[in-house]
Structure 1
Amino acid sequence: MDRRSFLKGSFALLGSLPQQGAQHTIMIDSHVHVWKHSPGFPFAAGAKVPEFDLAAEDLLALMSANGVARTVLIQVIHYRWDNRYLLDVLHRYPEKFHGVCRVDPEDPAAPDHLSELTETGCHGVRLSPGVSAESDWFRGPLMAPLWKRCAQLKVPMTLLLPASRLPDAAVWIEKNPDLDVVIDHMADIPAGDTKQLQLLLALARYPRVFVKISHIWSLSRQAFPYLDLTDQILRLRDAFGSSRLMWGTDWPIVRERLSYSQRVALYRDHLGFLSGTEREDILYRTVQRVWPFGL
């Protein structure tokens, strides 16, 4: 057996074994959505909302049962630019949650809306450019003032985007070197796609870019615990360092595929190819650095 095959087999074995003592590590989930069917918090016109709720109280029960201390809430697309439910949750449970809002990126008033949302409880904004030309606003003139305001407010910019948009993101990152920027879900790069992965690895040269190693279940071609993503995570670790990687459940998206408990266990118990310090970075220290909680 050659060295590469030996190491690959070793990583696979370690990644499949629960980590002793990992259950005692603090865990801060960087990515959860909440919503509630309520006349007081109407969904956006045309939104395709599941029949079930994931209210804050439901999430708190899951967190308590699974040892998750704090959570960053990401404004769900069902409400689009109406962040009132998110703000309501943040005001009721300020010790448990931080919140990332959405603003309309094609609205010239978006920077002012971000300022208002930051003043009233949000800590960061999320943009979601797609692949098609309809999302070329991400290259347009309205981005400069929005990114600048984000930097002035000292709140992170979170990006849900395909790998093809990473070079566009690099333009704005370059112009805002003091702004923390978080790339969601490894830019949805599937296992084994080394060409697209290079686009993400290229952002490691910017010291304030962070990556969520989330959506593993949708990027893998294998069953739980998705060991074909091991190499990708290791390459991100090598490029960014574990201090710029974080986990996230993305609960309750596609909950029929993987329960909340399984998502927590995936990161708590199946990162054996990383050192203890690296796992602690991913489980809480990196999130705490970007979204500071009073722990």
Structure 2
Amino acid sequence: MVIVDTHCHALPYWFEPVEILLDQMARNDVEKAVLIQIRGMYDNSYVIECMRRFPGRFSVVAIVDTDRSDAPESLEKWVKEGAEGVRLSPSVRSPGSDPLAIWRKAAELGVPVSSLGSLEEFASSEFEAVVKEFPNLNIIIEHLGGGGGDTSPPHNTYRKVLGLSQYGNTFMKIPGLGEICPRPMPFRQPFPFESIPPLIEMAIDAFGPSRLMWGSDFPPVASREGYRNALRFPMQHVSFRSEADKEWIFGKTAMSLWKFGEG
């Protein structure tokens, strides 16, 4: 099974340089990864350089300053440099006469949007309107749509976010279990979590495996269960319906969305 990590950060001056990520990938048989630019960093040169230095290993999701009127042109520039996606919040709107200009440019360029936001933002009618406006734009909802904060039944707001699965251009990232389960006190080994909220299983039921993808959230994951466990625990403790489901979620979905610099 080809394993692809769809949510990693790398930067020399915040988090960790890419070589640390490559070491974790090698230790855990992760073949490829998507470098997600961090919020507020509009110079994507480093992650583009990483993609070029290690051909076939990385794809890049860039960030542009959406408060600027030239953000669509900036996105086009980074795509020409090799970026294969853009990171936008669900509520972002462009200045000027077209509030959806940055979303429109992503659709025009044919690059997916990786979207970071809260449950409330993803559950809003305004975000649903964007999803409907651009049916050919693949929109990836990060971090279970913020669902890690909705761990107690009946999960009403999370269920509303899962309702976006009715639109075929929506996808969702599933994290390691440390993102949805509190760290136990006292700590237990080897598997620390006493109970796991069914958020990932609910996402599988809603989206299906071919529209879900795993992301470690490297390197913030180091302050939770760590990289290895962020991969191993979901594989072992989430109720997947089949091995084929795992193949989609841990690799094939990502391979269907990004070319990893090889196309």
TM-score above 0.5, yes or no: yes
Residue 222 of structure 1, CA deviation: 6.3
Residue 195 of structure 1, CA deviation: 1.2
Query: In the aligned structure 2, how far is the partner of 1:202 from the partner of 1:192?
Result: 18
Alignment partner of 1:147 is 2:103:
yes
Which portions of structure 1, spanning 4 or more consecutive aligned residues, are displaced by more than 6 angstroms?
A: none
Query: In the aligned structure 1, how far is the partner of 2:192 from the partner of 2:173?
Result: 17
Residue 261 of structure 1, CA deviation: 1.4
* SS of match in other structure, 1:255: helix
Alignment partner of 1:104 is 2:80:
no
- Letter of the 1:121 counterpart: G
Alignment partner of 1:161 is 2:117:
yes
More helix by share: 1
Query: In the aligned structure 1, how far is the partner of 2:85 from the partner of 2:219?
Result: 21
The one of 184, 191, 200 equivalent to 2:151 is 191
Residue in structure 1 matched with residue 137 of structure 2 by the alignment: 179
Report if the CA contact (8 A) 1:271-1:279 is conserved: no
- Cα offsets for 1:146-199 (capped at 9, x unmatched): 111101111001110101112222111111000100000011113225111122
* Identical positions, percent: 30
Query: In the aligned structure 1, how far is the partner of 2:136 from the partner of 2:228?
Result: 36
Residue 260 of structure 1, CA deviation: 1.3
Alignment partner of 1:204 is 2:165:
yes
RMSD: 2.4
- Cα offsets for 1:191-237 (capped at 9, x unmatched): 22511112211101100100001153132246556574452222211
* SS of match in other structure, 2:117: coil
| Pair 140,266 (structure 1): closer, same or farther in 2 beyond 3 Å | farther
- Letter of the 1:68 counterpart: V
Residue in structure 2 matched with residue 21 of structure 1 by the alignment: none
- Cα offsets for 1:99-136 (capped at 9, x unmatched): 0000111111111100000000111000136xxxxx67
Residue 266 of structure 1, CA deviation: 2.0
Alignment partner of 1:280 is 2:247:
yes
Report if the CA contact (8 A) 1:73-1:98 is conserved: yes
Alignment partner of 1:28 is 2:8:
no
Query: In the aligned structure 2, how far is the partner of 1:229 from the partner of 1:210?
Result: 22
Residue in structure 1 matched with residue 74 of structure 2 by the alignment: 113
Unaligned 5+ segments in structure 2 are 185-190
- Letter of the 1:191 counterpart: T
Query: In the aligned structure 1, how far is the partner of 2:96 from the partner of 2:245?
Result: 38
Alignment partner of 1:236 is 2:194:
no
- Cα offsets for 1:36-78 (capped at 9, x unmatched): 13xxxxxxxxxxx4xxx5212221121111100000000023x
Query: In the aligned structure 1, how far is the partner of 2:97 from the partner of 2:242?
Result: 44
- Letter of the 2:12 counterpart: K
Report if the CA contact (8 A) 2:89-2:117 is conserved: yes
* SS of match in other structure, 2:198: helix
Query: In the aligned structure 1, how far is the partner of 2:95 from the partner of 2:195?
Result: 34
Unaligned 5+ segments in structure 1 are 1-24, 38-48, 130-134
